[in-house]
Amino acid sequence: MEYPWGHARRFNDYSSYIKRTFNERVQKISVDAGFSCPNRDGTKGLGGCTFCNNSTFKPSYCGEGKSIADQILTGIDFFSPKYKTQHYLAYFQAYSNTYDSIDILKQRYQEALDHPIVIGLVIGTRPDCISEELLAYLAELNQKYNITIEYGIESTIDDTLLKINRGHDYKSGVEAIKKTAEAGIKVGAHLILGLPGEDKKDMLKHAKEMSELPLDYLKLHQLQLVRGSKMGEEYLSNPSQIKLYEEDEFIDLVVDFLEVLNPSIVMERFISQSPKELLIAPKWGSKNFEFVAKVDKRLKERDTWQGKLFNKQ
């Protein structure tokens, strides 16, 4: 059976999308551009989100003090022996990568694009850190390069966002996604499944809310408790206060989520992997590709696929 995304895999996967789009493997290189976050510097709050330790987002090649150009060179050296990759996307990942003056943002983005085999940018940020001026600039840049903005939405429930000290509401996420799509820029979102206080019904609501937005990509993350985060330290003091999913249970949750999700949304990932030295729990032991294989297997076992129940509930 061929599904709406044009192949026989039971979900609209990112690797197939990339091959269709570029006719080759294109690899992301993570970049730490030295930005901060309004939820850490006092503009919106201090201490950041309760789940967050940004050290979990940075690969080893994003060394302290390295220029963006040096990080890209190191990243290419890291990936080129593993993959027959011809081109790269610079992934501005750590902290809020639209949170600075427009001149500094332009300078740092351009430093990445100056490398001849970098063909675009993936910019991770918060929905409250985007401006009309920046969107206009990125839309112009998008005429020559492949530009994507990824927004950390995390939850569609305002009470949850308040509890995790996110510093913005869900409405701001909706507005940022719509404005970015209207500017002709590819747009992605991140959600965390399993945040305290949310049950299965809430998380399936996330899928339905995402399905109504002009999203190109979606990343799911299981709730991970990491050292250096407020939530992680609270868990160490009292583990019973936070429910964590077992891997098999989370696989079924992902399949349930996919069933109600708009089939046009490309699934970029189902889980995240924090460094072992920082991860407190859950410790499933599966690498990303292993987890994806388990999701594939469960989809077949249940004879279901992404969007099977879309607009049917």
Question: What pLDDT was estimated at residue 91?
Answer: 97
In a domain, 145, yes or no: yes
Question: What is the DSSP annotation of 203-251?
Answer: HHHHHHHHHTS--SEEEEEE--EETTSHHHHHHHH-GGGS----HHHHH
Which CATH number characterizes residue 182's domain? Answer: 3.20.20.70
Separation CA 193–CA 219 (nearest Å): 10
pLDDT in tens, 145-159: 999 999 999 999 999
Look at residue 4 and tell me if it is in a domain. Answer: no
pLDDT band per the 50, 70, 90 thresholds, residue 2: confident
Q: Name residue 88's beta-bridge partners.
A: 27, 118
Lowest mean pLDDT among 143-157, 226-240, 288-302: 226-240
Question: Which tokens sit at 265?
Answer: 């949304």
Return the closest-CA partner of residue 214 out of 268, 147, 267, 262: 262
Q: Is 170 helix (H, G, I), strand (E, B) or coil?
A: helix
Answer with the residue of higher pLDDT: 219 or 61.
219
CA distance linking residue 149 with residue 142, whole number of Å: 11
In a domain, 5, yes or no: no
Cα–Cα distance for residue pair 92/120, rounded to 1 Å: 11
Could you tell me if residue 310 is inside a domain?
Answer: no
The two beta strands, 87-92 and 26-31, are: parallel
Is residue 287 classed exposed, middle or buried when 0-12, 13-18 and 19+ CB atoms within 10 A define those classes? exposed
* Preceding amide of 116 cis, omega within 30: no
Prediction pTM value: 0.93
Average pLDDT over residues 154-175: 95
* % of the chain with per-residue pLDDT over 90: 77
What domain count does the chain have? 1
> Which residues pair with residue 31 across a beta bridge?
92
| Residue range(s) defining the domain that contains residue 54 | 14-301
Residues whose CB falls within 8 Å of the CB of residue 28, separated by 6 or more in sequence, listed in order = 88, 89, 90, 91, 122
Residue at 3 is within a domain:
no
- Span 131-135, average pLDDT: 97
Share the mean pLDDT of the chain.
Answer: 92
* Residue 79, domain member (yes or no): yes
Please determine, for residue 38, whether its predicted confidence score (pLDDT) is greater than 90: no
Residue whose C-alpha is closest to residue 230's, from 41, 48, 17: 48
| 1 in any annotated domain | no
Q: Extract the tokens encoding 31.
A: 């970049």
Q: Which residues 6+ apart lie within 8 Å of 313 measured at CB?
A: 208, 260
| 225-226 vs 186-193, strand pairing mode | unpaired
Q: Is residue 172 part of a domain?
A: yes
What tokens appear for 3 in the block? 């599904």
Percent of the chain at pLDDT above 70? 95
DSSP-assigned states of every residue in 29-73: EEE------TTTSSSS-SS--TT--GGGG--TTS-TT--HHHHHH
